[in-house]
Every structure is written in structure tokens, then in C-alpha cells.
Amino acid sequence: MITLYTFGPYFGLPDASPFVMKAEVLLRIADLPYETDTGGFNTAPKGKLPYIADDGAIIADSTLIRLHIEKKYGFDFDDRLSPRERSIAWAIEKMCEDHLYWAGLHARWMVDANFDKGPRQFFDAAPAPLRPLVVALARRQFRRNLWGHGMGRHTTAEMEELAARDIDAIADVLADKPYLMGERPSGADASVFPMMAHALCPLFETAIRTRAERRPNLVAYNDRLMAQYFPEFAGAGKAIV
């Protein structure tokens, strides 16, 4: 049995991390049985979640998990796609993960109002006297990560403008199809849907959310895939505001 190490549900979403949601959707698309464990962060081999344990093998990183599933279980997530479509799907996925994600991270971790109703709760288990220090150190680390990536060097307005292009690109590629690349889910949906679920999370006030809400096909896509892959969370995000 595969064990998927997760953060667990937060903010009315199946997981605090879109990458963990991605790993879970990949496992569900491939129809592989798995269990989840929220106790693995401190021993995460790359200091991040998700990772999986599969029959003694540890695979850290959602995309490497995908490659593992493809190789070990002979499952091709993109079997219906042409080489050109596979390339478009890969490019959109990586735009989400390596560009849009970082703008969202800034909006959630660096904007006090969002941080206070969101990520601050990750530290609730820290001893009360130490908690302010732990929170400050974590936010400083995230600020450094944002700077290292490069997104954090932009002004808020610049980040929002860049993220808006991402949102519009996703909406335009999706168009009126049920899934990003057509009538059936492909590997990119495992990534793009969780990114949209996080972008559209009604708990947070962000320009990314506003931009995504302007695209009805994105909102419907998120609702549809949430109902398909995490039916227990369909509508849950709306209920927590």
C-alpha cells in the first residue's frame, strides 16, 4: 500500500498544499490504493511535502511521484494526447507550479490579513510563549524563498499582473472543455485543478482569486473536479467564509 505524506485539510480544501492535492489526484486518476499520513513533514527527505513511501521506496516531489507511477505501474497520464498536446499540458502545469504558485504564496504568507486567517494556524501547536518567534522565523524563511525564486523581488502590482496572465492563459487553454486538454483528465489536471482550488479559496482576498472568478470556465472546472476527486470537499470552501 502506498503511503502519501500530507499536511491534511485546511481552509476548506483537501490539503494545505496544492502539491499534496496533486499527488492525491494522480493516485486517484491512476486508481492506485493509498493511505495518507499527516506525520511525515519533519522527516521529509527534501524538507517539503508531498512524498510517498511505496514498497520501501521513498519518492519526494509531486512530479517525481507522477514519474514513479508512470514507470512502476505502467500508467500513462497523457495517453490520449498527441506529442504537441503533451507539451502544452506540461508547459501549463509548470507555469502553474513554478510561476503562479509563487505569486499565490506571496499573497497568502506576506499579506498580514491573509496570513492571519490562514497559514498562521499551522503554528497553533507551537508552545504559546515561543509561537510569535516561530511564526516570525517561518515567515522570514518564506520571504527568503520568494526572493530566491525571484517572484518576491517584484512589487505587489507586478506580481498581480504576472499572475493575471497565468490565470488568463489557463482559462483560454481550458476554454469550454471539461478537462484542460480535452474530454478526459490528463496529468496536467492533477496540477492545474489544485492550483485553481487554492487560487479560488474564498477565505483569502487576493487579486489572483478575483481574476480567476472573472473566468466562469475556471470556476466551473474547479467545482467539477472537486466534486469528482474530493466529493467530501465540494462546496466546503464556500461554507467557511
Ligand X SMILES: N[C@@H](CCC(=O)N[C@@H](CS)C(=O)NCC(=O)O)C(=O)O
Interface residue with ligand X, options 49, 164, 181, 188 (CB under 6 A): 49
Please report how close the Cβ of residue 198 comes to ligand X at its closest, in angstroms.
Answer: 9
Regarding 50 and contact with ligand X (CB under 6 A), the answer is yes
Q: Which of residues 121-160 bind ligand X (CB under 6 A)?
A: none
**Which one of the spans 44-52, 120-128, 182-190, 232-240 is the region binding ligand X (CB under 6 A)?**
44-52
CB 160: neighbour CB atoms within 10 A?
Answer: 18
Pairing of β 34-37 and β 2-5: parallel
The interface with ligand X within residues 8-37 (CB under 6 A) comprises 17, 19
| d(C-alpha 32, C-alpha 69), whole Å | 9
Cα–Cα distance for residue pair 35/172, rounded to 1 Å: 35
3-state SS, residue 239: helix
Rounded Cα gap, residues 228 and 47, in angstroms: 30
d(CA 170, CA 174): 6
Is residue 62 close enough to count as binding ligand X by CB under 6 A?
yes
Among 3, 9, 10, 48, indicate the residue that binds ligand X (CB under 6 A). Answer: 48
The reply to whether 109 sits near ligand X by the rule CB under 6 A is no
Identify any residues that bridge with 194 across adjacent strands, giving them in sequence order: none
Residue 192: CB minimum distance to ligand X, A:
13
- Going by the DSSP 8-state scheme, the letter that residue 137 receives in this structure is H
Q: How many CA atoms lie within 13 A of 53 on its CB side?
A: 13
Q: Which one of 58-66, 77-85, 151-159, 172-180 is the stretch in contact with ligand X (CB under 6 A)?
A: 58-66
List the x/- string, 156-185, binding to ligand X by CB under 6 A: ------------------------------
Name the residues that contact ligand X, by CB under 6 A.
17, 19, 47-50, 61-63
